[in-house]
């Protein structure tokens, strides 16, 4: 295994020595810059093109001292001039139309309404996770389940979105606890979607579940109705079970069942993946997605975490840092860590994943994939928390069990702890346009626009980045945020530093892995058929798949 590319601790990150530099304002087009290790400078421009220069090249560029003329001595500069022109970094050759088109492509999500609609069908959960941000309730709690009536109103609002496609995501608590409403939503939404005056939307369902309450009957239903399943795996068994407590259940037979959240999740991950294969779905594309939450206990186990995911056949790992919502506020003292340590863990983990990829193991890191898609492809994968303007209210809505509607799930979590800043209304009496046109939505759209945010406005990573207002509100008391003090900005900046160091090194094998990570393969199977088609015609049923 190669030496991990841990953070250098001698030089401040990102700084570029500028002493004696005399800027020629007429030569460069608009650019932002950031220092990279090995005396290099990254430039990005308005539309998100990038170029890596040596420190010397950077000074020549800034001072307008790069020759365009050919000549034996100037041939190196000519190459540089060409690279700069191709990247749209030269004022004399700035291609406005090209910049316009690039910017339009990056911002293609603007102009459509919310595509992600998170339904918290219950707060009840059978697991207790030390970092739970969902403000879960115990299984015996009363009146914390979404009713079918409220669910229908939520679906009506979701289908009113101007987005041509919507995803209804079942969350909790543990959504399997209120499975009847999950079923009701699926059936109601499919029927309603088929009769929309503007034509059916591309409708998808996903469920975020700990899987410990899954059984064959529920699984059959979810598979037959093409519900994408996402779960949590914190890493190897010891780590996972330490952080996610599943009480053992005493069965009618007197036996005890359960007690290991890891065993329950792993059992069903394997079962579901097996079912996808039996259904004839491409196993490289159709797998249970898993997420992890990084606590201080996770940091030294970076290799074990990656190995665990690979062993489960997962193709993506999302190395999410701890967030400040819900239980995390109380447990933060024993779970939190400096973000410098997180970034060390991130670098080691992704270095290892790159090595595994070079050995033929296909696994990607989700943050890297999101940023690389923006950097290398000039496209936005529409990850709602990392975009400008952010997705709160215009890209996503969260619906609480009681019908409360929020700009984002974090806003809903804050509501459960007494803060209604992000509450927009209630599904029982809300109108769609009033919800997405709400002054709170306008405020978060403005607050999440990096063109108006100190620090971000000058940051080289501005074309690719985003920090949601809910995080700044929780940690700093303001939806605008002070990025120098933002732990999330530190994470995003650190990840992009790592990625651009790799890009600047331009190792072809690493770049091949990175390009693979940006390939978006649509999963058509999960797009719902209209109710006129039979489920078996459009989504091959399990029984047919088993028996051919």
Partner 1 sequence: MPTDQVDAEFAARSVGVTLDESVYPLDAVYGASYTFIDRCYVLLDRVSPTRIRISLTPKKEVTSEDELRAMVGELSNELLSCAWRSQIVRENRAVIEAVTLQAIGGAMGPPSLDDLKDFDFSEEPFEDPLGIGLSWEEKYKKTKPGETATTEASAAPGGEESGT
**Which residues of this protein are in contact with partner 1, per CB under 8 A?**
107, 110-114, 161-162, 389, 393-394, 431, 433, 436-437, 441-442, 445-446, 449, 451-454, 457, 476-478, 480, 482, 484-485
C-beta closer to partner 1: residue 391 or 494? 391
Contact 389, 114 (CB under 8 A): no
Query: Residue 268: which residues within 8 A CB-CB, separation 6 or more?
Result: 211, 214, 219, 231, 288
Q: Roughly what angle, to the nearest 10 degrees, separates helices 469-476 and 409-416?
A: 30
Given the complex with partner 1, which of 175 and 395 has the nearer CB atom?
A: 395
Beta bridge partners of 399: 119, 405
**Distance, CA of 462 to CA of 154 (rounded, Å):** 34
User: Residue 197 CB, nearest distance to partner 1 (Å)?
Assistant: 10
CA angle 414, 129, 273 (to 5 degrees): 110
Nearest to 124 by CA among 172, 159, 160: 172
- Tokens linked to 337: 């860590």
| DSSP-derived secondary structure for 483-499 | GGG-HHHHHHHHHHHHH
Closest to 4 (Cα-Cα) out of 236, 235, 303:
303
Measured distance CA(154)–CA(135) in Å, rounded: 21
Contact 84, 125 (CB under 8 A): no
Residue carrying structure tokens 């595509």: 115
| Min CB(446)–partner 1 separation in Å | 6
Residue 266 has phi, psi (to 5 degrees) of -65, -40
**Smallest distance, partner 1 to C-beta of residue 533, A:** 28
Nearest distance, CB of residue 444 and partner 1, angstroms: 10
Give me the least distance between CB of 21 and partner 1, in Å please. Answer: 23
CB of 333 vs partner 1, minimal distance in Å:
17
Query: Residue for token digits 């496609």?
Result: 165
**Tokens coding 43:** 């430039």
Residue 183 CB, shortest distance to partner 1, in Å, is 29
Q: How far is the CB of 95 from partner 1 (least distance, A)?
A: 19
Tokens coding 175? 């959504």
Q: Least distance from C-beta 500 to partner 1, angstroms?
A: 25
- The 8-class DSSP code of residue 311 comes to H
**What DSSP line would sit under 455-466, residue for residue?**
TGGG-TTGGG--
DSSP-derived letter for residue 312 is T
Mapping DSSP to helix (H, G, I), strand (E, B) and coil, where does residue 46 land?
coil
CB 15 to partner 1: min, Å:
20
Closest approach of partner 1 to the CB of residue 431, in Å = 8
CB within 8 A of 255, min separation 6: which ones? none
Tell whether omega for the bond before 389 is within 30 degrees of 0, i.e. cis. yes
What the block records as the tokens of 465 is 């980045």
**Residue number, 85 or 482, with CB nearest to partner 1:** 482
Comparing CB distances to partner 1, the nearer of 197 and 532 is 197
In the complex, minimum distance from the CB of residue 391 to partner 1, in angstroms, rounded to a whole number: 10
Instruction: Give the burial class of 175: count Cβ atoms within 10 A of its Cβ; 0-12 exposed, 13-18 middle, 19 or more buried.
Output: buried
> Given its phi and psi angles, is residue 258 left (phi above 0), alpha (psi -120 to 50 degrees) or beta?
left
């Amino acid at each position: 295994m190669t030496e991990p590319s841990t953070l250098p601790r001698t030089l401040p990150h990102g700084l570029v020595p500028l002493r004696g530099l005399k800027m020629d304002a007429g030569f460069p087009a608009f650019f932002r810059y950031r220092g990279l290790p090995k005396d290099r400078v990254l430039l990005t421009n308005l539309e998100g093109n990038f170029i890596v220069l040596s420190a010397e090249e950077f000074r020549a560029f800034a001072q307008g001292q790069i020759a365009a003329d050919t000549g034996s001595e100037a041939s190196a500069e000519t190459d540089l001039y060409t690279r700069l022109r191709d990247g749209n970094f030269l004022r004399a050759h700035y291609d406005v139309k090209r910049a316009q088109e690039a910017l339009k492509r990056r911002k293609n999500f603007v102009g459509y309404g919310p595509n992600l609609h998170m339904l918290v069908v219950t707060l009840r959960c059978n697991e207790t996770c030390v970092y739970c941000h969902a403000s879960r309730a115990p299984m015996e709690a009363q009146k914390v389940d979404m009713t079918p009536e409220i669910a229908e109103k939520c679906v009506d609002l979701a289908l009113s979105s101007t987005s041509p496609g919507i995803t209804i995501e079942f969350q909790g608590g543990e959504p399997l606890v209120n499975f009847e409403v999950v079923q009701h939503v699926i059936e109601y939404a499919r029927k309603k979607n088929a009769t929309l005056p503007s034509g059916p939307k591309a409708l998808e369902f996903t469920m975020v579940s700990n899987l410990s309450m899954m059984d064959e009957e529920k699984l059959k239903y979810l598979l037959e109705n093409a519900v994408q399943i996402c779960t949590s795996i914190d890493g190897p068994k010891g780590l996972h079970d330490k952080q996610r407590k599943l009480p053992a259940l005493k069965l009618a037979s007197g036996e005890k069942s359960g007690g290991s959240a890891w065993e329950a999740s792993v059992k069903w991950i394997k079962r579901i993946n097996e079912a996808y294969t039996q259904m004839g779905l491409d196993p490289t594309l159709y797998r249970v997605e898993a997420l992890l939450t990084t606590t201080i206990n996770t940091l030294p186990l970076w290799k074990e975490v990656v190995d665990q995911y690979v062993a489960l056949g997962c193709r993506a790992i999302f190395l999410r840092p701890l967030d400040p919502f819900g239980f995390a506020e109380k447990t933060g003292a024993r779970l939190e860590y400096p973000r410098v340590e997180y970034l060390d863990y991130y670098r080691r983990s992704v270095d290892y994943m790159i090595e595994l990829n070079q050995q033929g193991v296909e696994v990607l890191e989700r943050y890297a994939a999101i940023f690389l898609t923006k950097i290398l492809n000039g496209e936005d994968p529409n990850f709602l928390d990392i975009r400008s303007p952010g997705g709160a209210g215009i890209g996503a809505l969260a619906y609480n069990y009681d019908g409360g509607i929020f700009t984002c799930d974090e806003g809903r979590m804050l509501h459960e702890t007494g803060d209604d800043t992000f509450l927009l209304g209630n599904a029982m009496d809300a109108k769609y346009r009033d919800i997405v046109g709400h002054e709170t939505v306008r405020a978060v759209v403005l607050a999440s626009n990096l063109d108006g945010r100190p620090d971000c406005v000058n940051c080289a990573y501005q074309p690719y980045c985003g920090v949601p207002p809910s995080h700044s509100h929780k940690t700093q008391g303001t939806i605008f945020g002070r990025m120098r003090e933002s732990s999330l900005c530190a994470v995003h900046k650190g990840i992009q530093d790592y990625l651009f160091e790799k890009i600047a090194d331009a190792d072809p094998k690493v770049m091949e892995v990175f390009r693979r990570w940006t390939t978006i393969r649509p999963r058509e199977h999960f797009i719902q058929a209209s109710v006129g088609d039979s489920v078996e015609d459009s989504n091959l049923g399990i029984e047919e798949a088993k028996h051919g």
